[in-house]
Amino acid sequence: MSNMTAQPSVTSTREVILQTESLTKRYGDFVALDNLNLQVRRGEVFGYIGPNGSGKTTTFRILCGLLEPSGGRAVIGGKEVTGSKDLIKQMVGYLPDNFGVYPSLRAWEYLDFFAAAYRIPVKERPDRIEKCLAIANCTQFRDKLMGELSRGMKQRVGIAKTLLHDPQVLILDEPAATIDPRARIQIRQLLRELADMGKAVLVSSHILPELGDVCDTVGILKEGKLVACGPVQEIMRSIRQKRLMEIRALAGGDRVVSVLKDAPGEWEQVTEGQQEGKLRFEVQADEQQLAESLQLLLSRGITVAEFAEVPADLEDVFMSLTK
């Protein structure tokens, strides 16, 4: 029954490196971002999730100093973005959606071009480029033409590019959107590794399952408003009022439904998603009531082999929040 215990948030003690306070952006009369309050910590993968047009790119462009907010503020590493653009450029690595790739450059030439733009001294560049290729796991295509790389490979070289100046905050706009499932898994592993290096990794998606299992925290955006934000597990718990429980009995399974009528909480059988040999119930019960319900089943002679909560599906949460 270990999955019934709430996990403490491991990220809550780390330093907040990025935050926004009532951040607002209007395009004319249209409010694209509405009083956004976000916090992202070092070592954290933050999933910024929302349907197309919800304001993800607008947020990212403000955080990088490419767009002025209409109100509120964004602070990175203790400095307000608006007043310290050069410093923010050093702190932040940004990979836009559909970044340009210069097809006739080899991967290392492409990186060398950006290393020069970041004013990395000529002597240091080869080392730095090799290091970034290695971190992004793309050393093997350093001599390939950018135009010949698959989307997934390009994406990794793009990430290597954003790492050249060793930024503390990485902002990646829809990095997994157009690549195949295998490449997507590699990108997810890479995001985790970058966070484990102590960086804050902000990554957006309009499709939640792409990111659900790699993020420590998520912010769910709808029409410019943050409708939920926090550790993944906490969000799921707060949205789902009822627990979904799964029970498997070795003997007496046909009496489970009737016995649970006497148990604390309202046990209601659900057939959707139910696997053979297991029964599913929705119930409004705390841990104590669950323990009492299990005891009741046992005391009535039902041999319970499994009694476990089904973790909430982040996709359900996302759909219910953004519909």
DSSP characters for 209-255? GGTTTT-SEEEEEETTEEEEEEEHHHHHHHH--SEEEEEEEEE-GGG
- Is 167 one of the binding residues for ligand ADP (CB under 6 A)? no
Q: Which is nearer to ligand ADP, 162 or 186 (CB)?
A: 162
Q: In the set 17, 38, 46, 50, which binds ligand ADP (CB under 6 A)?
A: 50
Task: Point out which span in 47-55, 132-140, 188-196, 238-246 binds ligand ADP (CB under 6 A).
Answer: 47-55
- Is 27 one of the binding residues for ligand ADP (CB under 6 A)? yes
The Cα–Cα gap between 70 and 74 comes to 11
- Is 68 one of the binding residues for ligand ADP (CB under 6 A)? no
The Cα–Cα gap between 36 and 202 comes to 15
Task: Point out which span in 38-46, 52-60, 68-76, 144-152 binds ligand ADP (CB under 6 A).
Answer: 52-60
- Is 198 one of the binding residues for ligand ADP (CB under 6 A)? no
Cα separation of the two ends of the chain: 33
- Is 56 one of the binding residues for ligand ADP (CB under 6 A)? yes
Q: Are 285 and 309 in contact (CB under 8 A)?
A: no
Q: What minimum distance in Å lies between the beta carbon of 56 and ligand ADP?
A: 4
- Is 322 one of the binding residues for ligand ADP (CB under 6 A)? no
The Cα–Cα gap between 319 and 323 comes to 6
The Cα–Cα gap between 182 and 198 comes to 25
The Cα–Cα gap between 13 and 311 comes to 25
Task: Kindly provide the b/e burial profile for residues 276-286, where b requires at least 16 CB atoms within 10 angstroms of the residue's own CB.
Answer: eebbbbbbebe
Distance of CA 15 to the CA centre of its chain: 18
- Is 58 one of the binding residues for ligand ADP (CB under 6 A)? yes
Question: What are 137's two structure tokens?
Answer: 């796991």
Q: Which is nearer to ligand ADP, 205 or 217 (CB)?
A: 205
Q: What minimum distance in Å lies between the beta carbon of 226 and ligand ADP?
A: 12
The residue type of 201 is: V
Q: Which is nearer to ligand ADP, 68 or 127 (CB)?
A: 68
**Judged by CB under 6 A, how many residues of this single chain contact ligand ADP?**
11
- 65, 168, 264, 266, 310 from 281: Cα distances, Å: 50, 45, 13, 9, 10
Q: Which is nearer to ligand ADP, 134 or 319 (CB)?
A: 319
Task: Point out which span in 55-63, 133-141, 275-283, 309-317 binds ligand ADP (CB under 6 A).
Answer: 55-63
Q: Which is nearer to ligand ADP, 61 or 188 (CB)?
A: 61
Q: Which is nearer to ligand ADP, 62 or 259 (CB)?
A: 62
Binding site for ligand ADP (CB under 6 A): 27, 30, 32, 50, 52-58
